[in-house]
Every structure is written in C-alpha cells, then in structure tokens.
Copies of this chain bind each other. A is one copy, B any other.
Amino acid sequence: MAGLLSGLYGCRRSAGAEAGSGAFSAAGSGKLGVALVGLGKYSEEELAPALLETRACRLAGIVTGSPEKIGKWQRKYDIPDGNVYSYSDFDRIAENPDIDIVYVVLPNALHKEYTVRAAKAGKHVICEKPMAVSAAECEEMVAACKKAGKLLSIGYRMHFDPSTLLIRQLGENKTLGSFTSLTARDSQKMKSGQWRLDKALAGGGPLMDLGIYCVQASLYCAGELPVAVKARFGKIDDPEKFASVEQSIAFDLTFPSGLVAHCHSSYAEEENSLRIESDREWLEFSPAFSYSGLKGKTSQGKMNLPKVNQQALQMDDFARCVNEGTRSRVPGEMGLRDLKILEAIYEAAETGSEVKLKL
C-alpha cells in the first residue's frame, strides 16, 4: 500500500516508504517534513490536525515565539528537540534535512521576512493568505524563492475544495453560458485586541483577511482577470476598534466579458456566501468559504458535494509539486496578483474613483 501511495504522489523518496510506520516516523517515512512557523489557532486547530490526514507530508517541526507551547506540541506530535525553533534561531533550519517545507502562518506583516528566510535556508514555502501586506513585498518573496530554486505556494485552500473544482470547470467550459451575475460576501465579527485589527501587522482590515476570498472567487468563477475596480468603505460604528483598519468595504470588479462581481467584506457582520448566475442556471454556496460544511444549491436543488479536508489536500498537492518539480496551482505569482488587486481596491475606496487594473 505504501508503494502504491508513493507512486500516486510521485514521491522521490518512495524507496523509504515501505519502512515508514506512520505519519510521525520521522526521516525515512517517504513523506515530506513540514515545519509550521507560528502556532496560532490556524496551526493548532486546522493545519496540525490536517497533517495527520496527509499522505505525502508529516508535521516534522515547529517554529514559535511562545516557549510555553513547545512541550504540548512536542508530546502531541512527537517532534524531536532538534526540530523546534524560535524566531531568532530559525535560520538554523537550513541544516535540518528533516524539514522540506516551511509553512508560514504568522501575522501578515511577517510573511515576507519568514518566506525569504525560509527560501534562503533552502526550504520550499507555503505562505498563508494574504501573501504579504503589499505587492512590493510579494515581488521580493517570489524573487527570493526563485533565486533559491524553491517552490512557493499560497494558502489558498479553496482551490482544493470540490465546490471550487466544479465552479472553475463550469466557468472555463461555459457550461452554463457566460456568468451574468456574481455576488461574493465574506464577513466575520472580529473581537477587539486581535492583531488583525492592527494595520501594522495585518496590512488592512477585512479586505486583507476575508475580502480576499471574494477576490479569489470572482477570478476563478469569471475565468479571466478584472480590468477595473470600484470600492467604498462602510461606516465605522466603533472608532476605537477600527482605529487603523476599515470596518467594512464593498467593491465591484469588472471583467472583460462585461461581468461585474459584487463583493462585500466586514469585521462587524457574519456573511459567507457566493452566488453565480447565468441566463440558464444559478449556483449558490452558503457557507461558501468555510473550512468545512459548505452548503451548495443550484436551480435544481441542494448540491451535497463530497466532504474533504482542504488543508490536507493542499499540503499533499504541494508535496506532489515538490516531488515532481512542478509549479503549484496556487503559486506565489497568484498571491502577488491578488495583492495588486487588493491595493487597487483600497485605492478606489480612498479616492472614490474607479481604478483600472493591468494584471
């Protein structure tokens, strides 16, 4: 079975696969070692459990600034002392052959630094979304990984969900005709005190964190790049909470086909939906962007797509890319493209004028 699986995942180290005894057999398991940089909620509740479900990856290391977390993680995931790093000694990871992939799960403003350091340490990188706090930073990250000859992928987990696989196919094939209407809304109430409300760490408010899902969905539904954007900030109800980032933002992306995607994102509401219409049919997901439990409907009725672990699929797919030397379907270049769009959306909201996009 191990031979079969390593064959399917095209694993270069398949010779060792037979000797592997499980997800945490360390070197020789035939699986690529992943180090999580940042042990916040997403690492703890999503990525580490997902790594238990991957077939081509294993949780091999951790990088944290919170020493009190180390013991618990080491015990739970059988991580040897030599694979535990602080932010100051992170660069020593270059000497550790047990780590193949570094997954950056830090606040947005730190993405660039740790991606560049990981690449310089000779590691492939997955970086959470948004890729960074500016397009200029993204350029540096792409260049650093290119120079190091390492792959860079962005944590766009939706690309691994069956809903997205279906929508993209329907769009690319014009199965329902051209889409005539698209609405994407992603909002979550944000409690005070979180780094996501601090522009210096987050780069922006709900647009950076949630609106980016609406941007992504608009592009993969439309199957083309937007040419212009209009946007406006919503009113601020809590000036103290929203002192440095927007409370909400609405934006319209215009595509060459004529399609206009209407998007909305807020830190003071709960919204999670995607609706696309053609003159023949419609599809709707609500929730549309959750880790699990997506609910789909078409004009024909409920659409119960298969249940998956998006994060496990994403990491296994990246392992395949690393083993085969092929580019990820969600590469650094896509993250860069999206930051250019996010910057244009902010510019449109700040100036009140339509901003043209040349992507």
Which A residues lie at the B interface, using CB under 8 A? 4-5, 7-8, 55, 160, 162, 165-166, 168-170, 173-178, 257-258, 280-281, 283, 297-308, 313, 316-317
Contacts and interface: CB of A to CB of B under 8 A. Distances in A.
Contact of A165 (B173, B258, B304): B173
**Interface of chain A, helix or strand or loop or mixed?**
mixed
A301 B301 CA distance: 12
A174 B8 contact: yes
Q: Which 3 residue pairs of A and B lie closest in terms of their CB atoms, listed nearest first?
A: A301-B304, A300-B304, A165-B169
Nearest to A301: B304
Contacts of A160: 173, 175
A79 B248 CA distance: 58
B175 A170 contact: no
A194 B317 CA distance: 50
B305 A299 contact: no
A274 to B, nearest CB: 15
- Number of copies of this protein chain within its complex: 2
A299 B304 CA distance: 8
A257 B304 contact: no
B306 A281 contact: yes
Nearest to A163: B166
Contacts of A169: 162, 165-166, 168-169
Contact of A306 (B55, B174, B175): B175
27 contacts: A4-B257, A4-B258, A5-B178, A8-B174, A8-B257, A55-B177, A160-B175, A162-B169, A162-B170, A165-B169, A165-B170, A165-B173, A169-B169, A173-B313, A173-B317, A175-B308, A280-B306, A280-B308, A281-B308, A297-B304, A298-B305, A299-B307, A300-B304, A300-B306, A300-B307, A301-B304, A303-B304
A306 B170 contact: yes
Contacts of A298: 304-306
A269 to B, nearest CB: 28
A157 to B, nearest CB: 12
A31 to B, nearest CB: 15
A230 to B, nearest CB: 21
Contacts of A316: 174
A135 B168 CA distance: 35
A298 to B, nearest CB: 5
Contacts of A173: 160, 165, 313, 317
Nearest to A316: B174
Given A173-B317, A175-B306, A303-B303, 20 more contacts: A4-B178, A4-B257, A8-B174, A8-B178, A165-B169, A169-B169, A170-B306, A174-B316, A175-B308, A176-B308, A281-B306, A281-B308, A283-B306, A298-B304, A298-B305, A299-B306, A300-B304, A300-B305, A300-B306, A302-B302
A7 B169 CA distance: 19
Contacts of A302: 301-302, 304
Contacts of A170: 162, 165, 306
A307 B258 CA distance: 24
Nearest to A307: B300
Nearest to A159: B173
Contacts of A5: 178
